[in-house]
Structure 1
Amino acid sequence: MQKKLNFLFAVCNAVLLAGCAGDGTKILDDGTSTDLKWHEAGSVHFDKSKGTFPNLQSLRQIRKGMTKDQLYYLIGRPQYSDGWRPRQWNYLYHFNTPGQGRDDVTTCQYKVLFDKDGFTGEAYWHQVSSEDGVCPPDLEGKTSHELPADTLFKFDRSDFNGITGPAEEQLSRVVKDIQSYRDLENVTIYGYTDRLGSNGYNSVLSQKRAETIKAYLIQHGIPADKISAIGKGPADPKVSCNEVKGAELKDCLRPNRRVEILIKGTR
């Protein structure tokens, strides 16, 4: 009997060390994930399943490398259940966003992952309210949007004809967010590729894609002198995927192929 219990304990430990979270998210040793999953929004265990309006100043202070105690001090206990000694904490947050979201409130899920040593890694946002709220909302006088390049463009394309149907909705959301700023300082568009191919080719492709998004924003009324387009090629990768090859590698590198749009100003 004792041997069977020891075996079960070892299996449980192995699952925990593998980083399989309660919602199915696969967590890597460095506290990142290429396969995010999210709990049903209403399945929070605390705060009467309603979530909370967080302290924005506390959210601004969250950084990589923090302990769970430090994180708990800033934003409190996680609101979703992810089992014993979880490697992620999940929250349901509401933000007052006049003119955006549902009844001027934007609802988001917030996920903080922990690395194999128990320190904070990456944090991720997920939009819950279906209206035009943005997750995360404006926490520091600026808003960022991350759009998958595979959604924006057909493979190896960078022109308007290459923009796919679902991208129109995402870009429309970005335009509405920019227009909500009372005093717009600037909009910076960063284009990124994966590491496949030469650096020179990727640099040109990422610049062309950033320029295409800039042209789209100008076409929809955003002042050209407020927008900068920067191609960064394979810089600042989100995932490395060193252990896979071929078609699996291309799919694994998907998060690196993206366009990031940073909006700064006063609402």
Structure 2
Amino acid sequence: MSKRQLYTLLGTPHFNEGMWGVREWNYLFNFRTAQGAEYFTCQFQVRFDGKGIAQAGYWKPESCAAVLDPPRPPAPPAPPPAPLPEHPLRLSADALFGFDSAKLSAEGQQAVQGILAQVREAAQVQSIRVTGYTARIGSASYNQALSQRRADAVRAALVQGGVPAASISAEGRGAAEPIVQCEQRNRRELIACLAPNRRVQIAGMAHPR
């Protein structure tokens, strides 16, 4: 900015330095405080080069600079983790495992690959929770153990696919939290009706992109 431009903007310097040949102009500014008619005074010095172009400006005291250049507001906090997926993903245990087995079938391996694709869509996975469930047929202790083994199997497959082991938990819940209630007397029909209860659920938290 030239002296002429500065003169147009701020007017005559307060200490009569002159228009030509001087390298410093000084201004005094009175700024009101929040206390009624009170004000404080700041001195602003502009330094020019040999061609009369402003090179730098200095406040006295230095704290006056904050009046015209207040501190920037803090950056907004990072968005909170969002559910991944938004609702728990339910996978049929009948599709993942063979009868009475905790070993993933070929179809089960394929399903895990689909889950991994969803996980990779997240910017940063914070936690994944794998929960296994069974139907009510059989003893409670056996169902609990089977559901845990199946949850562990899915967790192991996710870890093998690249998900950090520390971010995945696995829990077996046995026949808890059934989705359907069935009262068929025929065993085969009862087993078929209870199929939705035999499942593995996956839920998680991740930072959105």
Q: Which bracket does the TM-score occupy, shorter chain normalised?
A: 0.5 to 0.7
Query: Are 1:232 and 2:178 an aligned pair?
Result: no
Query: Are 1:196 and 2:130 an aligned pair?
Result: no
Q: Deviations over 1:7-38 (max 9, x none)?
A: xxxxxxxxxxxxxxxxxxxxxxxxxxxxxxxx
Query: Are 1:141 and 2:65 an aligned pair?
Result: no
Q: Say which one has the larger Rg.
A: 2
Query: Are 1:215 and 2:156 an aligned pair?
Result: yes
Residue 245 of structure 1, CA deviation: 2.7
Contact 1:178–1:263 (CA<8 Å) still a contact in 2?
Answer: no
Residue 169 of structure 1, CA deviation: 2.2
The count of corresponding residues between Structure 1 and Structure 2 is 126
Aligned mates of 2:146, 2:93 — CA distance in 1 = 11
Residue 266 of structure 1, CA deviation: 1.5
Query: Are 1:170 and 2:114 an aligned pair?
Result: no
Residue 168 of structure 1, CA deviation: 2.4
Query: Are 1:255 and 2:196 an aligned pair?
Result: yes
Aligned mates of 2:109, 2:153 — CA distance in 1 = 13
Aligned mates of 1:201, 1:151 — CA distance in 2 = 20
Aligned mates of 1:235, 1:141 — CA distance in 2 = 23
Residue 238 of structure 1, CA deviation: 0.6
SS where residue 176 of structure 1 aligns?
helix
Q: Deviations over 1:112-157 (max 9, x none)?
A: xxxxxxxxxxxxxxxxxxxxxxxxxxxx533132110001100001
Determine the structure 1 residue equivalent to 2:147. Answer: 206
Determine the structure 2 residue equivalent to 1:32. Answer: none
RMSD over equivalenced CA pairs, Å: 1.6
Residue 185 of structure 1, CA deviation: 1.1
Aligned mates of 1:228, 1:244 — CA distance in 2 = 37
Determine the structure 2 residue equivalent to 1:150. Answer: 94
Contact 2:131–2:151 (CA<8 Å) still a contact in 1?
Answer: yes
Contact 1:183–1:265 (CA<8 Å) still a contact in 2?
Answer: yes
Q: Which structure has more strand as a fraction of its residues? A: 2
Aligned-residue identity in percent: 36
Residue 187 of structure 1, CA deviation: 0.2
Q: What are the ranges of 5 or more consecutive residues in structure 2 without an aligned counterpart?
A: 1-81
Contact 1:192–1:206 (CA<8 Å) still a contact in 2?
Answer: yes
Letter in 2 for 1:220: G
Determine the structure 1 residue equivalent to 2:127. Answer: 186
**Higher RCO (CA-CA < 8 Å; seq separation 6+):** 2
Residue 263 of structure 1, CA deviation: 1.8
Aligned mates of 2:90, 2:141 — CA distance in 1 = 23
Q: What are the ranges of 5 or more consecutive residues in structure 1 without an aligned counterpart?
A: 1-139
TM-score, normalised to structure 1, is 0.45
Contact 2:84–2:119 (CA<8 Å) still a contact in 1?
Answer: no
Q: Deviations over 1:43-63 (max 9, x none)?
A: xxxxxxxxxxxxxxxxxxxxx
